[in-house]
Each structure stands twice: as C-alpha cells, then as structure tokens.
Structure 1
Amino acid sequence: MEPLEAPGVITIEWEMLDKPRFVTFSVFNSLILRCLVYPLTVVKTRLQVQSAYNYNGTCDALSKILKVEGFKSLYRGFWINSMQIFSGIGYIITYEKVRDSLHQRGVSDLRVKGLIGGGVSSLVGQTLITPFDVVSQHIMVLGRNGINPLNLPADVLQSRLRTFSRVCSEVYRRDGPIGFYRGYFASLIAYVPGSAFWWAFYPVYQEALISLSPPWTPLLAVQCMAGPLSGVTTCVFTNPADIVRARIQVQRLDSWTRALRYVWRTEGLRIFTIGLSARMLQSSISSFLLVSGYESLKRLSVSEEYKHRIRW
C-alpha cells in the first residue's frame, strides 16, 4: 500500500492565518462542541464524585439520570459552563502563538511544539476557566441522589438563575474569593499534562496514519482519526489526576496530597478506572469534533497567498 501523498502543507501555522476570521469561526465552533459533549461531562462528573456507588458505569449513570431527573438534567449548569468559550479562545490563541514563537526560534519537531504549546495554553486556559468550572460542577452534580455539597435548599434548585446565584454566594460565603479557585492547582496538575500530551501525541498518530493510508485519503480524515486516538491515550495517563481534581472542587478537600490519600484510601486501584469509560467516550467525541472543527476552520481561515498549498 502506498502512503498518503504529502500535501504542500500538513500543519497550518499561525502566520498563514487570517486572524480575525479564525477567531470568529473558533467562537462558534467552541460553542457547538460544548453543546454536543456537555452531557458526557455531567455523567463523568457524577461518576467521579459519587460516594455511595449510585451509578455502576457510564451507561448505568446515563440511564438513571435520564429516568430520575430527565433529559434537562444532562445540561444542568451548561449556560454558565458555556462562558468557558472565552477561555477556549484564549487557549487556542495561546497555543498557536507559542508554537509560532518556537518555530521562530528554530524548533521544528511537531511533538515538542505540541507538548510545550499544549502545556502553556492549558495554563492560561485554566486560569480563566477555573471559577466557571467550580460553579458549573457544583450545579451539574445537584440531583435527586443526595449529592448536595453546599446544602442548598430544594426550592432554590427550581430556578437556574437562583441556583447559579446561590451557588456563587455560598462558595464566596464559605471560602471567600479563593473559593472560586478551589482545585486550581489540582486542575493544573490534571489538565496541563493532559493538554501537553494530547498535542504531543496528535502529530505522532497523524504521521503514523499518513504512512498507512492510501494516497487518495483526505488529510482531514486522517487528522480526524488521529485526534480521538490522542484523546484516548491521554485519558489513560491522566485519569487519576482528573478524579482528584473533581473531588477537591466538589467535596471541598483542602489539598492535593490530602485528596490523593483520601481517594486512594476509599477507591484503591479504582482510581485508574473510575469514570474512565465516560472520559474516553467524551474525549473521543470531543477530540473528533475539535479536530474536524479546528482543522477545517484553519483551512477556511488561510490567507489567500497560502490557499494553493493547502490540501483537504
């Protein structure tokens, strides 16, 4: 089998883009992506913070949530979570600028640029996103199975605005402004390596798939396969850190080391598998949508002088 013929440009660099067009397209792409994968985020979070094993895996959790709380519960906290699109734009711009800076300094290895760019962009993104993450996670775990870490009265939960307002005021009352950054360093430990690994593995899988694909295979199709493979691989490495992060933010554990000891004592080796199937499914879908949207938007945003070198 002959390998896929290399296009003039495989990776579209920052200097090739019409920046305003790229940023505008990215906002809409980020919002659509969150709409599609948010229910899996809710299921994953419920699995990670449960203490009485109310759910036995992803499918069981999904069916019970739908049966007991209805479809709308899968989007509980979505409207506040959707504010994270702004951090998403900060993330992708930081990633592209860091890669461009490394390119200007002579770094050509895509794995190295992905590793560093992914890590730095996640650091910026988490700084912007953590307050929204804390509030949305408190909202998404509220249900009829007894999970209510802030002890909110039942009548508050009937209104999204009142729920949001009460969660914010309760977090502030208990911890002050720092409460909105509870789990920040745990988030960095969970997400910075995850982002770095994802962007480092992505070109590895992309190159491997290109070498195995027939010459008529669309490059975008290859990239859409490389994304989910990178996402699943990253999930396996980072699942324990993601569980500890969720427990710190929702169960109010006050340090990374204490949370890690607590989770290890209560879950043991299950720390490597709790919520993993939901994470892998979520990551596969989000990685596919991310890559298909991200790579398509970059192609649509390429400046005129580079369009003849771009292959779909």
Structure 2
Amino acid sequence: MSEPQKTLPFIYQFASGAIAGVSEILVMYPLDVVKTRQQLDSTNAYNGTIRCIKKIVSEEGFSRLYKGISAPILMEAPKRATKFAANDEWGKFYRNLFGVSTMSQSLAILTGATAGATESFVVVPFELIKIKLQDKASKFNGMTEVAKDIVKKNGVLGLYKGLESTLWRHVTWNAGYFGCIHQVRGLMPKPKTSTEKTLVDLTCGSIGGTFGTILNTPFDVVKSRIQAGSTRYIWTVPSLLTVAKEEGFGALYKGFIPKVLRLGPGGGILLVVFTTCMDFFRTIHEKK
C-alpha cells in the first residue's frame, strides 16, 4: 500500500482492518467452505464450485455452508486488523531503516511479506479450528468443543499445529497482495472524486487478491491437510511434493476457483472498506 496521507495512531489502523475483515467474511464465507472441502478431498467428489455447493446443500443442508463461521468471525477482526496495521507499521519501519520517504515496489513486497508473517501467529489457532469444523468428517458442534479437544490431546501448543505452513501461506499472499496493489495503483490515474477512489481501490485490491491467491494456493492446500489431522502431511515442502507426486501438480491448486472468487473480489472489498474507514477515522482524529 502507498504511504497514508497522514499517519494515524495504531488503534485506528487496527479498527479499520477489523471492520474490513468482518465485512469480507460475511459476504464470502460459503466460498471458503467450498475451498476447504475441495482441498481436503482426494477423490474429486467435490469438483466444480457450483457442483460442490449443490452437493453440500443437498446432503447436509444450506446451513452447512456457514458451519464454523464463528471461528472466522472471531478471527477476521484480529487477522485483518493485524494484516493492515502490521503492513503500515512495518512500512514505517522499513522506510526509516533504508532512509527513504516513499514506498517502492520492492519495499511494498518486503513489507507485505513481513506483515504476513506477523499475521500468521495471530490466525493459526482460528484456522485450525475452522478447518476441523469445515471438514465433512467433523463431529464437532462448535469452536469451543474443538479447542477443548485439541488442548486435551495435544496441550495449548497443539493450537499452533500448521504454523509453518501458515507462515508460507500468509507471507506469499501478503507479499503478492500489497506488492501488486502498489504496482497497479501507480499505473492508474489519480482519482479526483470519492467514487473514483473507491473504484481504484476495488480494482487494485481485486487484482492484488487474485495475484496473491495464485501465489499461495499450493501452500493453502497443504496447510488444510496438515491441520485436518492427517499424519501423512507434517511439513510444507515434503507435503507439496507428496501431493504433486500422488495426485498430480494440478492437485496443488484444488479449491483455486472458489478461493480466487472469494479473495479476488474479497481483496477489493478489504481495501475499499479499510481505506474508507481510515478516511473516516482521519476526519475524526483531525477534529480533536
């Protein structure tokens, strides 16, 4: 992202990211359920986004498309808040470190990657619980039940299963997302009205979300399998090789269509809501 017009306190960045994250998840969550089902499926029973949705609804009921949403809702606020706040804070850090006043393409990528690593430590427990609830074989009824089972069997650190693969997933997505936003925004004409600004943000965020998804889907596939509990998948790189060898390279992009349908437009929604909230908070802060 480009440098803000005026630096705002951390709390405003955090709140804007939280509001953006919850807005995105409320709109896009069913596609996340479809994505997870396809990534966990090694029999191709859930091929096709529309087919998968129909299969879930007919066999398990419409509400199943929203099962496990409590974990993402609770996760989205700290997750997206951390994403944007960390990106802004790391951006300030790197600009000071390298003695530059504006964000460059390489700094945008570095900042995004570091923000993604920071975000990973916040989201792992929520992602683990969400995956276990979204799995068709799941016998759990809610996130508290899942959390208690994990802690009972593996201790508190068990909630961080899949941390390494989550780091790969978030570092690549954030680097692609924020790096692409910086590049695309620099190529577009400077908006003159609030409507034009919204359209620019929506375009930049959607392209960034799509590019980030292309980069990180293989890591997301193995992360889902690692967190689902299979003992065959433990570390990211060996898991990538196993999936490619046994199911073909294309299997590393299972769930790509629902994922990109979510995170392409979803990335646009995130950026639009975030920047809108930041503009709102800026007017409040300047009146103090």
TM-score by length of 1: 0.80
Partners of 1:19 and 1:301 within 8 A in 2: no
The residue number in structure 2 matching 1:94 is 86
Partners of 2:28 and 2:266 within 8 A in 1: yes
Aligned mates of 2:237, 2:17 — CA distance in 1? 37
Please say if 1:300 is aligned against 2:280: yes
Task: Kindly provide the amino acid, as one letter, of the partner of residue 255 in structure 2.
Answer: G
Over residues 16-66 of structure 1, what are the superposed CA-to-partner deviations in whole Å (9 max), with x where a residue is unaligned?
A: 336544543443332222211211111101110012221112111111112
Aligned partner (choices 20, 39, 50) of residue 48 of structure 1: 39
Aligned partner (choices 174, 180, 192) of residue 201 of structure 1: 180
Give the SS at the match of 2:188.
helix
1:152-171 matches, cutoff 5 A = 152=139, 157=140, 160=141, 163-171=142-150
The residue number in structure 1 matching 2:120 is 126
Aligned mates of 1:305, 1:38 — CA distance in 2? 33
Partners of 2:36 and 2:131 within 8 A in 1: yes
Task: Kindly provide the amino acid, as one letter, of the partner of residue 229 in structure 1.
Answer: I
Change (3 A) 1:15 1:206: closer
Task: Kindly provide the amino acid, as one letter, of the partner of residue 176 in structure 2.
Answer: F
Please say if 1:235 is aligned against 2:213: yes
Over residues 101-154 of structure 1, what are the superposed CA-to-partner deviations in whole Å (9 max), with x where a residue is unaligned?
A: 23333152432332122112211211011011101110011x3xxx34xxx4xx
Aligned partner (choices 182, 187, 202) of residue 161 of structure 2: 182
Aligned mates of 2:271, 2:234 — CA distance in 1? 36
The residue number in structure 1 matching 2:238 is 258
Over residues 67-95 of structure 1, what are the superposed CA-to-partner deviations in whole Å (9 max), with x where a residue is unaligned?
A: 22222111111112222112332232211
Aligned mates of 2:167, 2:32 — CA distance in 1? 18
The residue number in structure 2 matching 1:137 is 131
The residue number in structure 2 matching 1:245 is 223
Aligned mates of 2:147, 2:284 — CA distance in 1? 47
Aligned mates of 1:173, 1:200 — CA distance in 2? 41
Q: Please state how far the C-alpha of 1:273 moved relative to its aligned partner.
A: 3.1
Aligned mates of 1:250, 1:16 — CA distance in 2? 41
The residue number in structure 2 matching 1:65 is 56
Aligned partner (choices 93, 100, 103) of residue 95 of structure 2: 103
The residue number in structure 2 matching 1:5 is none
Aligned mates of 1:216, 1:13 — CA distance in 2? 16
Aligned mates of 1:290, 1:54 — CA distance in 2? 32
Task: Kindly provide the amino acid, as one letter, of the partner of residue 83 in structure 2.
Answer: Y
The residue number in structure 2 matching 1:275 is 255
Aligned mates of 2:184, 2:286 — CA distance in 1? 25
* Percentage of pairs with the same residue: 18
Over residues 278-301 of structure 1, what are the superposed CA-to-partner deviations in whole Å (9 max), with x where a residue is unaligned?
A: 111011121121011012122222
Change (3 A) 1:30 1:214: closer
Unaligned runs of 5+ in 1: 1-9, 308-312
The residue number in structure 2 matching 1:30 is 21
Task: Kindly provide the amino acid, as one letter, of the partner of residue 172 in structure 1.
Answer: V
Aligned mates of 2:179, 2:32 — CA distance in 1? 23
Structure 1 segments of 4+ aligned residues over 4 angstroms from their partners: 18-22, 213-217, 303-307
Task: Kindly provide the amino acid, as one letter, of the partner of residue 96 in structure 1.
Answer: D
Equivalenced residue count is 282
Q: Please state how far the C-alpha of 1:202 moved relative to its aligned partner.
A: 0.8
Please say if 1:172 is aligned against 2:148: no
Aligned mates of 1:57, 1:118 — CA distance in 2? 31
Partners of 1:15 and 1:100 within 8 A in 2: no
Partners of 2:18 and 2:79 within 8 A in 1: no
Query: Which of the two has higher C-alpha Rg?
Result: 1
Partners of 1:18 and 1:302 within 8 A in 2: no
Task: Kindly provide the amino acid, as one letter, of the partner of residue 133 in structure 2.
Answer: I
